Structure 1
Amino acid sequence: MLGVTHLLFSFLFGSFVFNFIGGSLLTKIIWASALLAGTFMPDIDAKVVFLRHRGLLHTIWPVLIFLILGGLLSKLQILFLPLAIGYLGHLTADSLTPSGIAFFYPISSRKVSGPIRTSSVLELVLVICLLILIFFS
């Protein structure tokens, strides 16, 4: 998936949650920054030699770690919740590609995958649908 598709999934998920939370301008800036960071964090594995791309960083475990840390460190919830949501947005987008992802690796290698290839017409249709959903959320 293209970066924009990852970002749109994250913004869609984030907008649903943020509408319930609300907050000041500073809260919105922090929220958006953490959401953005979480969105692109899984692809760090593409740049690190000893990590397999779409391996451990493309699983549900980092999302759970962010949520647990947010629960334990309540003053930092403003960072960990949007990080988790952004991360989940990225995973959702990648699960729609033919390569897919193994959400529960290393416990299970079973992959979730879909038909959408990067830069395809289907991805463009998906981007348009996501933009419409974000606009109305």
Structure 2
Amino acid sequence: MSGYGFGRKPAGRNTDESGAGGGADAPERLDFTGIPRTPVNLDPAREEAAIRRGDALGFVDRGAARDIQADTSEGAPSTRRRRRSAQPQMSVFIKGPKDTLEWFIEYTNQQGHRSYWEALEEFRSLVESK
């Protein structure tokens, strides 16, 4: 039975009694004692210089993009388009005489319809108009 490596200790690593991996060939742990854990204080002048360098390289501030969208909702034209609600769809499998179905396919192609339902819609309007 395979355990896929779970629950096994890596081969060649010596661990001390606490299981902390303090053996001779264990990798050294990283020392994070000099790194502060508080938020970094930014110098406004350096931040502005970095923003200008980024603008020169073509970076766009995502916060600015949100501001632009808010401005367009206040009267400026928007590029958003409202989607039409989709009509419920259905599939039909039609089995019938080969010559009749071939005629229907050819008729659909001659009329320039991209789908069979458009040909059926044309037939429906013809029948309902009588």
By the TM > 0.5 criterion, same fold?
Answer: no
> What range is the shorter-chain TM-score in?
under 0.3
Higher Cα radius of gyration: 2
TM-score, normalised with respect to structure 1:
0.19
More helix, by proportion: 1
Structure with higher RCO (Cα < 8 A, 6+ apart): 1
